[in-house]
Amino acid sequence: MKILAIETSCDETAAAVVEDGRVVHANVVATQIELHRRFGGVFPEVASRQHVLAIQPVIAQALAEAGVSARGVDAIAVTHGPGLAGSLLVGVNAAKGLALAADRPLLPVNHLEGHVYSNWLDAPGRAQGHPDDNFPVVVLIVSGGHTELIEMRGHGCYRRLGGTLDDAAGEAFDKVARLLDLGFPGGPAIQQTAEHGDPGAFELPRALRHAADHRFDFSFSGLKTAMLNLTRRLSREGRDLHDAHLLADLAAAFQQAVADVLVEKTTDAALATNARQVCICGGVSANRALRATAAARLDALGIPLYIPPLIYCTDNAAMIGAAADYRWRNQPWPDGLAIDVHASLPLPEEENTL
Ligand code: KG4
Ligand code: ZN
């Protein structure tokens, strides 16, 4: 099945053509990072207006690169939540118009399920291969808006194990980058600053590490406060917070603290559920420290680990095409014109119906 997929849940306008949930014929992402940089974060009104400008050219480019017309695909898929309502509306309305004009079915996709299925996409030069159909699979979704630990018992069959009690992991990166004056988006800025830093230079908390009642939950607000207190103490001591060595150490220590809790809880979840494989996905899964920490821990346990190539970690439409294929492969297709947007939309927790 060949699917044209559209994704506009946050600040990337994206369209892709994906076949059989794996083969990516085109993957176009128009990022709005430059527009939002001066606000230090995503400005919802600006995001939706930019989606309006970008959506048609992005879709046209994806179809052209894939060498198909809208009538040449079997279905159109679109993210209908979770995300910014105004941004989601642009993608959903464009998809409805196209589905009507081309007389194709329209399939709604949960953005989080998209991140999960980013692991199943073929990618040029991919070293790790794909997860196979050996369940249960423990999935950690770490993005700007979400930090979720999930047990996947089959395709489309999820059980939520835990998640963040406050900030999402990506949000913590973005806020700490702002504190250190490193710019937006925070994740890549912190990673780059941390490159020659010492992760052990400062002692930082690993929240909820031993909390039996929150075994698979995360909390990043304490770490954020610890970073604030640390920078205040350093300035009181007369240290220059713009000094490159000091910044590198601060960024490296913070990044490792986040990576440690994410990996520790994911590993614990994998052991508790007897997982056959582990997947990590979402924007923060692009982080080198997280990738290296996870690879070392899971390798030591002999549990196969999958993390998508960088282009599929952050928001894209190829992952939406993959998720649509798996979710709707054996299900009656919905009435596309009735699709609505949902700012908050959990992963469906249900028995395996696929
Ligand atoms: O998945 P995504 O593109 O959008 C959401 O669905 O939220 O994730 C964006 C988040 C941002 O918070 C960004 O700072 C973070 O992913 N991020 C990173 C890295 N690249 C992006 N965090 C840490 N290290 C990175 N290399
Ligand atoms: Zn995302």
Quick one: CA torsion of 319, 325, 327, 332, rounded to 10 degrees? 150
Q: From 32, 110, 173, give the residue whose CB has the most ligand 1 atoms within 8 Å, as the site to mutate.
A: 173
Look up residue 314 and give its DSSP letter.
S
Alpha carbons 339 and 78: distance in angstroms, whole number: 10
Chain centre distance of CA 334: 26
Query: Looking at residues 77-94, what average pLDDT do you find?
Result: 97
User: Which residue's alpha carbon is at the smallest distance from atom 3 of ligand 1?
Assistant: 314
The structure tokens listed for 4 are 């044209």
| pLDDT tens figures, 225-248 | 999 999 999 999 999 999 999 999
Specify the pLDDT at position 353: 47
**Which helix (H) or strand (E) covers residue 75, if one does?**
strand 75-81
> What pLDDT is stored for residue 351 in this prediction?
54
How do the domains of the chain map onto residue ranges? Answer: 2-121+312-338, 137-308
- CB-based contacts of 44: which residues, under 8 Å, 6+ apart? 84, 86, 87
Contacts of 307 (CB under 8 A, 6+ apart): 119, 128, 279, 280, 281, 285, 291, 294, 313
Residue 9: Cβ-neighbour burial (10 angstroms; 0-12, 13-18, 19+): buried
Per DSSP bridges, beta strands 75-81 and 106-110 are parallel
83 CA closest ligand 1 atom index: 6
Q: Provide φ and ψ at 98, rounded to 5°.
A: -70, -40
Report the amino acid identity of residue 128. Q
Separation CA 232–CA 174 (nearest Å): 19
- Which 8-state DSSP code applies to residue 283? G
Burial letters 159-179, b for 16+ CB under 10 A, else e: eebbbbeebbbbbbbbbbbeb
Report the nearest-CA residue for atom 1 of ligand 1: 283
Q: Ligand 1 centre and the CA of 143: distance in Å? A: 5
Residue from 7, 82, 74, 66 nearest 325 by CA: 74
Percent of all residues in the chain with a pLDDT value above 70, rounded to a whole number:
97
Taking 80 as the threshold, does the pLDDT of residue 128 lie above it?
Answer: no
Residues 175-218: tens digit of each pLDDT: 999 999 999 899 999 999 999 999 999 999 998 888 889 999 99
Radius of gyration of the chain (CA): 20
State the chain's mean pLDDT as an integer. Answer: 94
pLDDT tens digits for 133-183? 899 999 999 999 999 999 999 999 999 999 999 999 999 999 999 999 999
Report the separation in Å between the CA atom of 167 and the middle of ligand 1, taken as the mean of its atom positions.
13
Q: Minimum-distance ligand to the CA of 182?
A: 1
Place of tokens 């601060």: 250
Q: What is the pLDDT of residue 42?
A: 86
Query: What CATH class does 137-308 carry?
Result: alpha beta
Question: Which of 117, 284, 288, 312 has most ligand 1 atoms within 8 Å of its beta carbon, as the pocket-test mutant?
Answer: 284
pLDDT digits (tens, 9 = 90+) for 248-299: 999 999 999 999 999 999 999 999 999 999 999 999 999 999 999 999 999 9
Between CA 247 and CA 240 the distance in angstroms is: 9
In whole angstroms, what is the distance from residue 245 CA to residue 234 CA? 13
Can you tell me the distance from the alpha carbon of 3 to that of 63, in angstroms, rounded to the nearest whole number? 10
- Residue 284 CA to ligand 1 center (angstroms) comes to 4
Cα–Cα distance between 272 and 73 in angstroms, integer?
42
Domain boundaries 2-121+312-338, CATH class: alpha beta
Pocket test for ligand 1, best of 143, 184, 312, 347 (most atoms within 8 A of CB): 143
CB 175 within 8 A of CB 148: no
User: Which parts of 195-243 fold into alpha helices (H)?
Assistant: 221-236
The pLDDT-based confidence of 40 (bands split at 50, 70, 90) is confident
Long-range contact set of residues 35-40: C-beta below 8 Å, sequence gap at least 24: 35/11, 36/11, 36/184, 37/183, 37/184, 39/184, 40/178, 40/184
pTM check: above 0.85: yes
Residues with CB under 6 A from ligand 1: 10, 143-145, 170, 173-174, 185-188, 191, 282-284, 286-287, 314-315
Distance 282 CA to ligand 1 centre (A): 7
The ligand 1 atom at the shortest distance from the C-alpha of residue 146 is: 7
